[in-house]
């Protein structure tokens, strides 16, 4: 027979009661739900529930099955503590809770405090050790079935918290309703809440031991987020999407080998194209997928690189200040929509690279900064923990749990969304302790140097992990210094990246191309210098978003001269880039010769394609990519001297260059000749190693591109007369501000 406690007194201690009603209890599972209770020396069961905004409550005893027996609960504290003692029972039994609010509306629900832990001791050990590389499978919010009930398991790392609760619409954002279980010294908290489903909005309310600092944080492992300016996380099942890219994934290792053609189209999804007819809204991931596939099929790029698509609060950061490290931004749709985006590109044969930002994170209150009332993810010392240039925080790469967070995040994108490569942003800022700092504003390492030893170790382990777990993926460093071995294997002392952006080539080339051709002969070394170090790393040649913003002008607008010369110079730049050793990257808008600088708030100027010159640039990019993909000599030996041979590098007076590109097949080569002046060079002699007919594969001055059609009428025969140390030579008609590609004859 059930009885209640006398005089409405609580069955828990005053300490527990005060902790509970003030939302300070570090272990609510020890007092809520069913618990053994000794009433006057007689063992019994006490049931307790903390229910706010409830007038009446019942425990529905399901021992004998449905519909159950309702047992009234006594309110033992005005704030909402309800209790009942079962003096005739000592064994736990199944139950639900029924409630009625002050408006007379009633409902029933399953008590989350009747469930045991979800995380195993082994999970907790690996998470605490920082070696649980699939941490995203355990932390965050997961739809699971636990002890026979369907619901959501929440788990978060916050070792300096006094109490953590899950809050959301389902509990009126009341931190007293669902305080979590503390998992001991690991610093991890968890709770399983039954009957929650996909789409629930939530945050973690954290009360810190540090002066009772109270804050609501988005889930660091949240798989989906609200659209800005809202900041909560959203429960999402990221495993339900049905992928159809098996063929791409099976062949990816071959498609992305370093001896393969890699031509990357860099895209900011929010400004590639918008829907003017609907208030200039963003296109969705699904709309973007279909339209980008059409564009990529036309332009013949091999890959797309997305500027960061992690959830971020400020559009103007372009995604480089992410908060939702595991969440594709809601600006363009749901996580399933993003999976569709990647899947669609893969099904059409295009790789997907994403910009990844482990160098820093923003200060937004709902983000990682000062997460549990301490500097948990970041360094406490501002000399180590702050990027003053960007107003951001720097990860503490020496802390195992923080490293594990980033390792797991990298693997998450590779595994969950089948991403083919990570372009790691701002690597230089990670490598150097004194990056953009004055004397006295940084702390030397233990050896007195400026190298960030913890970050270096993190980067090496990151690359080992990515390549070890997913052979064939690309890791690409945006690294702007002369650090040695960025793209060399870690077992040879390198950092282990697949590729490195060639920032030196980019800077020297754009400075040179911005000069009036009459002065270029004095800057000739800017073109030839890149070949001194071209094979020290596995380089990718970037003409990226960074070069067309902040007053730098668009690529077309950088070019000198009148209208014709500007377009000719741009065609020359692209031709030279595709002839030069290294993989290729071009930022969106550059393929249509955008006049104005890129802005993240507006669509590209697609209307420019009504004009012939802009059509010509687009056609040139298509043909350059087509030739590039078809000719092994232009990509197969990108990173060794054997793939390149100077034919003419000293003709500074005429601002001309000529070189050979070689495939692994010694009979497969391409002659590339560049004329950086607007003067037609008649009978320009270039020494070549063999005789035969040299077919003109591409000429950037062709009329179809908007050029003047100066060329060699499809090709030229080599003359058996020595020149520049070669037994044969070509007598060419060099187009003004043009590049010609000539296929060498095969030698039997």
Catalytic residues: 425, 478
* Rounded Cα–Cα distance for residues 350 and 365 (Å): 38
Tokens 């027996």 locate to 69
Tokens 């991403």 locate to 419
* Rounded Cα–Cα distance for residues 478 and 585 (Å): 12
Q: What angle is formed at CA 537 by the lines to CA 531 and CA 541, rounded to 5 degrees?
A: 65
Q: Which long-range contacts (CB under 8 A, 24 or more apart) does 428-431 make?
A: 428/478, 428/479, 428/480, 428/481, 428/483, 429/359, 429/360, 429/387, 430/358, 430/359, 430/397, 430/455, 430/458, 430/459, 431/455, 431/456, 431/459, 431/479, 431/481, 431/483
Is 668 buried (19+), middle (13-18) or exposed (0-12) by CB count in 10 A?
middle
**127 has which bridge partners?**
none
Give yes or no for a contact between 405 and 397, defined as CB atoms under 8 angstroms apart. no
* Rounded Cα–Cα distance for residues 482 and 463 (Å): 19
Helices and strands counted in the chain (H then E): 16, 39
Reference 187, options 174, 206, 166, 214; nearest CA is 206
Stated as kind and residue range, the H or E segment containing 576 is: helix 563-579
Tokens 């047992």 locate to 71
Mapped to the 3 state alphabet, what secondary structure does 405-450 carry?
A: HHHHHHHHHHHHCCCCEEEECCHHHHHECCCCCCCCCCCCCCCCCC
- Indicate the DSSP class of residue 307: S
Backbone angles phi, psi at 341, to 5 degrees: -55, -55
Other residues' Cβ atoms within 10 Å of the Cβ of residue 156? 24
* Rounded Cα–Cα distance for residues 89 and 635 (Å): 77
Give yes or no for a contact between 292 and 283, defined as CB atoms under 8 angstroms apart. no
Q: How far is CA 468 from the centre of its chain?
A: 19
Give yes or no for a contact between 23 and 165, defined as CB atoms under 8 angstroms apart. yes
* Rounded Cα–Cα distance for residues 1 and 273 (Å): 71
Stated as kind and residue range, the H or E segment containing 253 is: helix 246-255
| Token pair for 25 | 């209890």
Reference 502, options 544, 542, 543; nearest CA is 542
**Can you state the angle between helices 563-579 and 612-630, rounded to 10 degrees?**
10
Cα dihedral angle (80, 84, 85, 86), rounded to 10 degrees? -150
Q: Longest C-alpha distance within the chain, in Å?
A: 115
* Rounded Cα–Cα distance for residues 479 and 477 (Å): 5
């Amino acid at each position: 027979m059930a009885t209640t406690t006398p005089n409405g007194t609580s069955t828990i201690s005053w300490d527990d009661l005060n902790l509970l009603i003030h939302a300070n209890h570090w272990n609510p599972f020890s007092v809520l739900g069913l618990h053994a209770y000794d009433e006057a020396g007689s063992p019994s069961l006490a049931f307790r529930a903390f229910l706010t905004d409830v007038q009446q409550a019942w425990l529905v005893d399901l021992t004998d099955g449905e519909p159950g027996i309702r047992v009234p609960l006594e309110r033992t504290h005005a704030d909402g503590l309800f209790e009942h003692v079962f003096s005739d029972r000592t064994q736990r039994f199944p139950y639900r809770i029924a409630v009625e609010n002050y408006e007379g509306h009633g409902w029933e629900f399953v008590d989350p405090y009747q469930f045991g832990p979800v995380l195993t001791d082994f999970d907790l050990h690996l998470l605490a050790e920082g070696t649980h590389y699939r941490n995203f499978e355990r932390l965050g919010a997961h739809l699971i079935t636990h002890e026979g009930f369907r619901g959501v398991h929440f788990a978060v790392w916050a070792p300096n918290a006094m109490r953590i609760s899950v809050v959301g619409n389902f509990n009126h954002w009341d931190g007293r309703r669902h305080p979590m279980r503390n998992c001991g010294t690991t610093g991890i908290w968890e709770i399983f809440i039954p009957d929650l489903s996909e789409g629930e909005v939530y945050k973690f309310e954290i009360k810190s031991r540090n002066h009772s600092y109270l804050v609501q944080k988005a889930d660091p492992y949240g798989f989906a987020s609200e659209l800005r300016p809202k900041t909560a996380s959203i429960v999402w099942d990221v495993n339900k999407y049905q992928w159809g890219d098996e063929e791409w994934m099976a062949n990816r290792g071959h498609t992305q080998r370093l001896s393969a053609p890699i031509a990357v189209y860099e895209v900011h999804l929010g400004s590639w194209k918008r829907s003017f007819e609907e208030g200039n809204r963003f296109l969705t991931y699904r709309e973007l997928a279909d339209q980008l596939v059409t564009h990529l099929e036309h332009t013949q790029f091999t890959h797309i690189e997305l500027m960061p698509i992690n959830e971020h609060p400020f559009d103007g950061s372009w995604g480089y200040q992410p908060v939702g490290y595991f969440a594709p931004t809601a600006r363009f749709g749901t996580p399933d929509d993003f999976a569709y985006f990647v899947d669609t590109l893969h099904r059409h044969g295009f790789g997907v690279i994403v910009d990844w930002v482990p160098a820093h994170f923003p200060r937004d209150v709902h983000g990682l900064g000062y997460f549990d009332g301490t500097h948990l993810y970041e360094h406490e010392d501002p000399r180590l923990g702050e990027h003053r240039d960007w107003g951001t925080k720097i990860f503490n790469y020496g802390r195992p749990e923080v490293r594990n967070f980033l390792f797991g995040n990298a693997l998450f994108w590779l595994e969950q969304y089948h991403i083919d490569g990570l372009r790691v942003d701002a690597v230089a800022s990670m490598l150097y302790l004194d990056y953009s700092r004055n004397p006295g504003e940084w702390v030397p390492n233990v050896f007195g140097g400026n190298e960030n030893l913890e970050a270096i170790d993190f980067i090496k382990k990151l690359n080992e992990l990515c390549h070890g777990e997913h052979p064939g993926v690309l890791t690409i460093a945006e690294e702007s210094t002369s650090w040695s071995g960025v793209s060399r294997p870690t077992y040879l002392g390198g950092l282990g990246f697949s590729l490195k952006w060639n920032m030196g080539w980019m800077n020297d080339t754009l400075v040179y191309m911005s000069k009036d051709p009459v002065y270029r002969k004095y800057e000739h070394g800017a073109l030839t210098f890149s070949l001194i170090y071209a094979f020290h790393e596995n380089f990718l040649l970037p003409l990226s978003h960074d070069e067309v913003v902040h007053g730098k002008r668009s690529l077309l607008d950088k070019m000198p001269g009148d209208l014709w010369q500007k377009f000719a110079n741009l065609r020359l730049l692209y031709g030279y880039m595709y002839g030069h050793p290294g993989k290729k990257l071009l930022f969106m808008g550059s393929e249509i010769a955008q006049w104005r600088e890129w802005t993240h708030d507006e669509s590209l100027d697609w209307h420019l394609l009504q004009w012939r010159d802009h059509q010509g640039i687009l056609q040139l990019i298509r043909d350059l990519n087509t030739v590039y993909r078809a000719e092994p000599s232009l990509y197969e030996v990108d990173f060794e001297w054997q793939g390149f041979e100077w034919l003419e590098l000293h003709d500074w007076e005429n601002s001309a260059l000529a070189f050979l590109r070689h495939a692994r097949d010694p009979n497969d080569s391409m002659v590339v000749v560049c004329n950086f002046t607007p003067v037609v060079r008649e009978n320009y002699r270039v020494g070549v190693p063999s005789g035969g007919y040299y077919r003109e594969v591409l000429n950037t001055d062709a009329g179809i591109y908007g050029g003047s059609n100066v060329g060699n009428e499809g090709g030229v025969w080599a003359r058996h007369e020595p020149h520049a140390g070669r037994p044969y030579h070509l007598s060419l008609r060099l187009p003004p501000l043009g590049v010609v590609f000539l296929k060498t004859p095969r030698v039997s």
